[in-house]
Amino acid sequence: MIQKLIAGIERTGAPIVVGLDPMLSYIPQHITEKAYEEYGETLRGAGEAVWQYNKGIVDAVCDLVPAVKPQIAMYEQFGIEGLRAFEKTVRYCKEKGLIVIGDIKRGDIGSTSQAYAVGHLGRVQVGAKEYGVFDEDFATVNPYLGSDGVKPFIEVCKKEKKGLFILVKTSNPSSGEFQDRLVDGRPLYELVGEQVAVWGETCMDGRYSNIGAVVGATYPEMGRTLRKIMPKAFILVPGYGAQGGKGEDLVPFFHEDGLGAIINSSRGIIAAWKQEAYAGYGAEHYAEASRAAVLAMKEDIAGALAGRLHRGC
Amino acid sequence: MIQKLIAGIERTGAPIVVGLDPMLSYIPQHITEKAYEEYGETLRGAGEAVWQYNKGIVDAVCDLVPAVKPQIAMYEQFGIEGLRAFEKTVRYCKEKGLIVIGDIKRGDIGSTSQAYAVGHLGRVQVGAKEYGVFDEDFATVNPYLGSDGVKPFIEVCKKEKKGLFILVKTSNPSSGEFQDRLVDGRPLYELVGEQVAVWGETCMDGRYSNIGAVVGATYPEMGRTLRKIMPKAFILVPGYGAQGGKGEDLVPFFHEDGLGAIINSSRGIIAAWKQEAYAGYGAEHYAEASRAAVLAMKEDIAGALAGRLHRGC
């Protein structure tokens, strides 16, 4: 699966993933009004609004980027109806040729991780039949429970030729509270990174592994170290844009050939129409604002990577 | 909410939570057959089988225990239809007067944890309306992202008078891989435990906090230390029974007054009919086998706690 992602990055020239993390406050009024007219101000109405909003953005950006990353929490908060919008979004994005990274951050004891792995990446058995369920291409996984909580995901990835991004150093301000604690003089995230490299060896797909890592754009120096510790892992980098990460911060996450990382932006793209820079598009043309924000991000990253070439670093 | 749990423990004399973690292989054939006849060997058929199976167990044990803990992964693996069974199970258990601990192990950056907190413990806003969604009483939370990933859950708990159990030392064999790593000579799980105590101070409900911890029965010595580090936290103890924890292992998790811990058993209760000791009940009477297993577990724990009194330790 990582080779498919690489092919998508090379085709589009954009190591970018669009975070489909819809909040109702991002959705233009004409969409919510229509959904509420049809289904009322209900969970179903919210799910419908989210789905229509996503669809507009996906249609507007699907030729520009290789991948999307729906954050399941934003759907799960509306219960069954929200998860129905998640399911529709995953399917629609795959139909449009996009790779789908399910940002689910699951992780549990072995038998339970097995159930999550099957439901999100594999196929579940019911009697004599088998079903793909949410059927994302990649999923994010929380490593706090250690190897036996991660391995069921790896086994399903091997079987289904799918992939993972394991949380190593997250983008949020207090991620250091536990992740940076020194173990024998080295931060915990480095040990997790080393383990990602070990897990990754069992699941190679060409030069890169199907087992990648999540490292926040907000911590570029740590990204530089982790890039070395996990040379074969693709790094999914959240935190660009709204969370504070800038183009130049992204350079250390990439290998010199310009591969090895994919940068996520959520709010910065999907709610672009609410930002001053794109306000001219107006609510009606929110999806075009998202498209413009992707193009600007692509330029920002390309500029930063070209800058590295110039500086020879 | 923790006082409600304590009242339930005192009423039943059972510091026991029944883990509703259904696997299709646990479900008696007469239930799956009926569900498949009605809905086919489909995800909907699986969801229906899970729901009917749960209902039987809940009816059989609801007077014996204060709480249940549905593990959402076991439902999520069947997608929307599985989550519908989760939702129905949560509602039914609450109607029966049981406290529901949603074993969701969620945890993310702030804005995302906020969405999970709202969807599982709080109320979500849609236009001018508000809805309780999954509406569990407690949820389990993964702390790997640090305070800003946990605080949105705490805020919702304060508002809704609900509670959390935060993963400190999990029951699985490889939990030590990261959780036991020494930070300044002390294992990481102790630092997480200290933080649980700090978070807990902000959310007290009588002598105990609404912010509790998860510590596996499989690690009783660590439980003893953590009991001291988090004196006001209730400890949710998984790993009894099928995972290897025994009655005597549970003693260190309790305070001397017999409170402070609640022990989970999943397979050991819900799949009791498949064990040699309860095989006499047969598939038809699986729920009575579960009842018998709860009674045996209650006796085992009471015996172990009485043993402590006798030994004066």
pLDDT tens digit string along A211-237?
999 999 999 999 999 999 999 999 999
Chain-chain contact of A177 with B167 (C-beta, under 8 angstroms): no
DSSP β-ladder status, A129-132 and A123-126: antiparallel
Give residue B248's pLDDT.
87
Residues in chain A: 313
Of residues A146, A178, A238, nearest to B177 (C-beta):
A146
Give residue B310's pLDDT.
63
Tens digit of each residue's pLDDT (9 = 90 or more) over B263-313: 999 999 999 999 999 999 999 999 999 999 999 999 999 999 988 766 654
Chain-chain contact of A183 with B182 (C-beta, under 8 angstroms): yes
Give residue B245's pLDDT.
72
Smallest Cα distance from B146 to chain A, Å:
5
Give residue B72's pLDDT.
98
Task: Pick the residue from chain B with its C-alpha nearest to A174.
Answer: B146
pLDDT bracket for residue A313 (50, 70, 90): very low
Using a CB-CB cut-off of 8 Å, the residues of chain B touching A145 are: 167, 170, 172, 174-175
Using a CB-CB cut-off of 8 Å, the residues of chain B touching A183 are: 181-183, 188
**Percent above pLDDT 90 for chain B:** 94
Of residues B107, B118, B181, nearest to A77 (C-beta):
B118
Using a CB-CB cut-off of 8 Å, the residues of chain B touching A167 are: 144-145
Question: Mapped to the 3 state alphabet, what secondary structure does chain A carry?
Answer: CHHHHHHHHHHHCCCEEEEECCCHHHCCHHHHHHHHHHHCCCHHHHHHHHHHHHHHHHHHHCCCCCEEEEECHHHHCCHHHHHHHHHHHHHHHHHCCCEEEEEEEECCCHHHHHHHHHHHCCEEEECCEEEECCCCCEEEECCCCCHHHHHHHHHHHHHHCCEEEEEEECCCHHHHHHHCCEECCEEHHHHHHHHHHHHHHCCEECCEECEEEEECCCCHHHHHHHHHHCCCCCEEECCEHHHCECHHHHHHHCCCCCCCEEEEECHHHHCHHHCHHHHHHCHHHHHHHHHHHHHHHHHHHHHHHHHHHHHCC
Q: Would you give the DSSP letter of residue B277?
A: G
Average pLDDT over residues A167-177: 96
Domain A2-303 sits in CATH 3.20.20.70: yes
Return the CATH number of the domain spanning residue range B2-306.
3.20.20.70
Active site residue B232: no
ipTM for the assembly: 0.96
Residue A129 above 50 pLDDT? yes
Q: How far apart are CA B132 and CA B120, in angstroms?
A: 8
pLDDT bracket for residue B241 (50, 70, 90): confident
Residue A132 above 60 pLDDT? yes
Chain-chain contact of A118 with B77 (C-beta, under 8 angstroms): yes
Tens digit of each residue's pLDDT (9 = 90 or more) over B249-273: 899 999 998 999 999 999 999 999 9
Tens digit of each residue's pLDDT (9 = 90 or more) over B117-147: 999 999 999 999 999 999 999 999 999 999 9
The label of the residue with tokens 């702030």 reads: B110
Q: Are A71 and A19 in contact (CB under 8 A)?
A: yes
Chain-chain contact of B192 with A181 (C-beta, under 8 angstroms): no
The label of the residue with tokens 């797909």 reads: A205
Listed in sequence order, the residues at least 6 apart from A24 whose beta carbon sits closer than 8 Å to its beta carbon are: A32, A46, A49, A50, B125, B126
**Residue spans per domain, chain A:** 2-303
Give residue B313's pLDDT.
46
Give residue A309's pLDDT.
61
